[in-house]
Amino acid sequence: MKLYLIKFGHWFIQRLSRIPEKDRTYARWCIFVLWFATTVASMMEAIGNPTGASTFTQLTDIGKAVGLNGLYFLGATIIIGILLAFLYVPLPRLLLGSFAYTIYSSVRILIDDKSGKVFSYIAGIGYSLVCLLIGLFLFLLFYKKTRKIIAFSIFPIIFVIAIFLDFYDKEINSVRGYTQSVFANKAEEMTVENPAQKGDYDYRFLTYGSGKDKHREAFGSAVDIVTPSVDATRLDTVWSDKREAFWGFDLPALPVNGRTWMPEGEGPFPLILMVHGNHAMEDFSVNGYDYLGELLASRGFLTVSVDQDFINSSKTYGSPKNDYKLRAWMILQHLIQLQEMNETPGHILSQKIDFDQVGLVGHSRGGQAVQVVADYPLFFKDRSLRKQLENININAVVSLAPTDEKVDGKRPYLRNVSYLLLQGARDADVNDYRGDEQFYRTTYDKNDDGFKASVYIADANHSQFNSEWGRMDSDLPKGIFLNQMQTMAPEEQRQVAKVYLSAFFEHVFHQQTSYEQLFRDHQYGKEWLPATTIVSKYRNASYVPITQITHSRGDTLSTNGVSVQAEGFSKWGVITPKQRKGNDRPIDAVLLEWEGDATYTITMPKDLVKLIGLEQPENLVLTLANIGVDGDDIPAVEIELESEAGMVESRSLEDVMSIPPVIETVYTHFGLFDDVFRDGKYEKGWEPVFQTFTVPIESFEITNLVLENGGYIKKIRLRLEANSGRVLLEEVGAE
């Protein structure tokens, strides 16, 4: 037994001593590169999973990650090397150990970051192989015998890569140039000033809050107005002990914090509350709309950026339960406390706010929260809360790339509230057009002066509406896989927001009705907006549908005595269009597909004007989406009106506005991983986006004369002219 143990000991020591026997110079180069690669990956993971808000904490997180990765790398390399030595594997054992750890570490980091399992394995293994090749390349580059060969071979490699990148860049630019051509000179320039320019009001900046904030001086020791905390324990939510330790408060004592821009002057001024969405809690969001606060205050709006950083999610501290409702409830608390300040004699905000004119702006989850606030009686049954809010009139809501989840099993409905929606096609967070749902849940009484508009911006993403969120729509590490080539510059995206929000509130609160043209037709803002394709919808209270699409069979659809007939189409019928992620749009549409000329004819009864309740229509309104891809032409549409006497007059839709192209987004670099990244979230790069075309009836001179003499339009005929094409027709209406 003793002899056996001695022999085993000699064998054991011998195998240990022979672990690195196959790991020659090239292996050491590769091991170094693999260690460096895992170090970089661990740093990205630490940045994406902060434990605190200070720079010191972030550096500490990175330091811990680097140190632990070094220990794990060393341990895994040695342990696997020992196992391979005991198995007599005739390969570089330490290199294989470090390579195996690199694969494991890379895949684990991506899976933990919810990048999708298939993608995580592909990217993790690919990353490790590339690093291995880089190590071999560096060895060959610095090895004397092969240095010249590598030096000469690197030039054709660089040449091939340069050609590929140049080709890709041209592809992207050609797409941008093509889409920008839609931004054509179809409309006259606006005679009013650029709404994104600062106005005539001087303004004062101040903050209100608890005065006890641990992380932000503006709501702590430097706060201008101390506000009482509010008790949210009655809401169905949960606040973890770790979250309480980070912030220093829990549900019974939530702070009411706000950044405020107050115009100089007597007032009262319209009030606008802005609220951010969900983002890493440790990376504060509330300062991200300062650019809007300053602009709107200079134009006579008392503007507040509402702090909800403490509601945001955290990979370290978790998320509050039912945060959608909590966000809305906190906005209501701001309105209540601002009302109290406004009614307090001698207060700096005394009589400064006109609560008959209140507007709300929300981004992402905040964009949904402001919708819930505008319909708060549906979600909050507390009588005392309703009593406190009864003198507050919310007239306008703006949602920037909003979510649209159910809250308590319900979604908000807006009635007689002006609604503006902005959404980017390059949005990799809320990557389908969810805010469009609220557009159709917004209605008006016949004589109301409100309106609703949606603006779909080809090259805008999710994050850049907030100046603190950076360019990526996902946190690290998965954010590095998102393609930025199609995304506009942050300043350009915020310019779009400034133009539309300022014009919207000027129209709603200052009765600057000239800005209405911008919402009817984005081409009126061509001197103010960056070069990008915009697809927009507009509806006001005077709009009535002539054709309402419902599921039917056969060649004719009819409603209210209106009949529809399609001729020359290879395919047509009522469908429910799908969003990017496969969800149904709220409104059905008629699919029209053709190869060669085709016509779509709407025949109307004589008493239609009375049936739809519109005595003297001024505009014909078409709502349609181009869905032509794979070589289809941009459709050319001719609008033909026929009177009851048989008089026919036509006009090209191109004279009003070009039909926008399909806007397709490449989400990952070169589109390589769109199908598998984040479990197929980006599998479909486009969705139907509808444009409203407002055609003045007076532009049909003969038809207008017929109407003035008591005649009526009997038929509306759409002639679609192109070699091939596909469109979705949602509705034809009048106003």
Q: Check which CATH number belongs to the domain holding 563 and give it.
A: 2.60.120
Residues 549 and 535 in one domain: no
**Structural domain boundaries, residue 563:** 544-734
Q: Residue 539 has what pLDDT?
A: 96
Q: What is the mean pLDDT of residues 170-178?
A: 48
Supply the pLDDT for residue 19.
Answer: 84
Same domain, 65 and 30: yes
Q: So what's the pLDDT on residue 197?
A: 97
Q: How many CB atoms lie within 10 A of CB 186?
A: 15
What band does 237 get if pLDDT is binned at 50, 70 and 90?
confident
Give CA 234 to chain center in angstroms. Answer: 32
Residue 408 DSSP class: T
- Looking at residue 708, what is its pLDDT? 66
The pLDDT value recorded for residue 611 is 61
The pLDDT tens digits of the residues spanning 664-693 come to: 999 998 888 999 999 999 999 999 999 999
pLDDT of res. 721:
83
Q: What is the pLDDT of residue 186?
A: 52
What the block records as the tokens of 580 is 């990017």
**Rounded CA separation 331/628 (Å):** 43
Q: Tell which wins on pLDDT, 105 or 179.
A: 105
CA distances from 392 to 296, 303, 356, 374 (A): 20, 16, 6, 10
Q: Is the pLDDT of residue 277 over 90?
A: yes
* Per-residue pLDDT at 644 exceeds 90: no
Distance CA 730, CA 589 (A): 4
Q: What is the mean pLDDT of the chain?
A: 89
- pLDDT at 183 (0 to 100): 47
Grade residue 150 by pLDDT with cuts at 50, 70 and 90: low
644/663 same-domain check: yes
pLDDT value of residue 154: 59
Residue 663: CB partners within 8 Å, gap ≥ 6? 179, 425, 456, 458, 533, 535, 686, 689
- Summarised one tens digit per residue, pLDDT across range 23-50 is 888 999 999 999 999 999 999 999 999 9
Mean of pLDDT values over 238-257: 94
The answer to whether residue 177 sits within a structural domain is no
Is the pLDDT at 141 greater than 90? The verdict is no
Give the pLDDT of residue 567.
Answer: 92
Q: Which comes out higher in pLDDT, residue 248 or 172?
A: 248
Helices 365-374 & 323-342, crossing angle to 10 degrees? 60
Looking at the structure, tell me whether residues 399 and 446 fall in a common domain. yes
The secondary structure of 105-139 as a DSSP string is: HHHHHHHHTT--HHHHHHHHHHHHHHHHHHHHHHH
Single-letter residue type at 546: I
Q: Which of 1-10, 558-567, 568-577 has the lowest mean pLDDT?
A: 1-10
**pLDDT-derived band at 175, boundaries 50, 70, 90:** very low
- Strand-pair partners of 677: none
Model pLDDT, residue 178: 42
Question: Do the Cβ atoms of 397 and 430 come closer than 8 Å?
Answer: no
Task: Tell whether 491 is covered by a domain.
Answer: yes
pLDDT (0 to 100) of residue 176 = 44
The whole-number pLDDT of residue 395 equals 97
- Stretch among 357-366, 523-532, 543-552 having the lowest mean pLDDT: 543-552
Bridge-based pairing of strands 302-306 and 353-363 is unpaired
Distance CA 425, CA 52 (A): 33
Q: Does residue 222 belong to any structural domain of this protein?
A: yes
What are the Cα distances from residue 469, in Å, to 46, 77, 286?
17, 38, 10
Mark whether 585 and 492 lie in a shared domain: no
Interatomic CA distance for residues 586 and 575, integer angstroms: 11
Residue 254 sits in the same domain as residue 115: no
Q: Residue 404 belongs to a domain with what CATH number?
A: 3.40.50.1820
Q: Tell me the three state secondary structure of residue 244.
A: helix
Cα 212 to Cα 93: distance, rounded to the nearest angstrom? 57
Q: Nearest to residue 270, comparing CAs of 72, 428, 418, 404?
A: 418
pTM: 0.92
Domains contained in the chain, number: 3
Domain end among 540, 561, 579:
540
What local confidence, expressed as pLDDT, does residue 216 receive? 95
pLDDT at position 730 over 50? yes
pLDDT value of residue 423: 98
- Report pLDDT for 470: 94
- 539 vs 179, higher pLDDT: 539
In this structure, what are the phi and psi dihedrals at residue 304, rounded to the nearest 5 degrees? -130, 130
What confidence tens digit (pLDDT) does each residue in 382-440 have?
999 999 999 999 999 999 999 999 999 999 999 999 999 999 999 999 999 999 999 99
Lowest mean pLDDT among 136-150, 353-367, 426-440, 490-504: 136-150
Residues 285 and 257 grouped into a single domain: yes
| Percent of the chain at pLDDT exceeding 90 | 70
Number of H helices, E strands in the chain: 17, 24
User: What is the arithmetic mean of pLDDT over 301-312?
Assistant: 98
> 638 in a domain, yes or no?
yes
**Residue 591 and residue 607 in one domain:** yes
pLDDT in tens, 449-460: 999 999 999 999
pLDDT digits (tens, 9 = 90+) for 181-217: 444 455 566 678 999 999 999 999 999 999 999 999 9
d(CA 30, CA 48): 27
Question: What tokens were used for 653?
Answer: 């839709």
Sign of CA dihedral 525, 435, 549, 599: positive
Q: Residue 160 pLDDT more than 60? A: no
136 CB burial (10 A radius; 0-12, 13-18, 19+): middle
The pLDDT of residue 444 is above 90: yes
Average pLDDT over residues 16-24: 83
- Verify cis geometry, omega within 30 degrees of 0, for the bond prior to 635: no
Domain boundary (126, 142, 158) is at 142
pLDDT at 499: 98
Statement: residue 138 has pLDDT above 50: yes
Residue 162 lies inside a defined structural domain of this protein? no
Q: Are the CB atoms for 614 and 734 separated by under 8 Å?
A: yes
Query: Tens of pLDDT along 502-537?
Result: 999 999 999 999 999 999 999 999 999 999 999 999
pLDDT band at 116 (very low <50, low <70, confident <90, very high): very high
Q: Is residue 18 part of a domain?
A: yes
Residue 194, domain member (yes or no)? no
- Report yes or no: 459 and 425 within 8 Å, Cβ to Cβ: yes
Query: Which among 239, 187, 229, 232 is positioned nearest to 208, based on CA atoms?
Result: 229
Q: Which residues of 312-342 are buried (b: 16+ CB within 10 A; e: fewer)?
A: bebbebebbeebbbbbbbbbbbbbebbbebb
Same domain, yes or no, for 625 and 652? yes
Range with the poorest average pLDDT among 20-34, 318-332, 502-516, 602-616: 602-616
Domain boundary among 508, 540, 572: 540
Burial of 192 (0-12, 13-18, 19+ CB in 10 A): middle
pLDDT band (50, 70, 90) for residue 145:
low
Taking the C-alpha atoms of residue 415 and residue 141, their distance in angstroms, rounded to an integer, is 70
pLDDT for res 646:
81
Report yes or no on 169 lying in a domain: no
Looking at the structure, tell me whether residues 269 and 409 fall in a common domain. yes
For residue 254, the model assigns a pLDDT of 97
Token pair belonging to 726? 């596909």
Identify whether residues 222 and 282 lie together within a single domain.
Answer: yes
Identify whether residues 410 and 314 lie together within a single domain.
yes
Measure Cα distances from 503 to 193, 427, 528, 718 in Å. Answer: 10, 24, 11, 33
3 state DSSP class of 621? strand
Token pair for 329: 């409830």
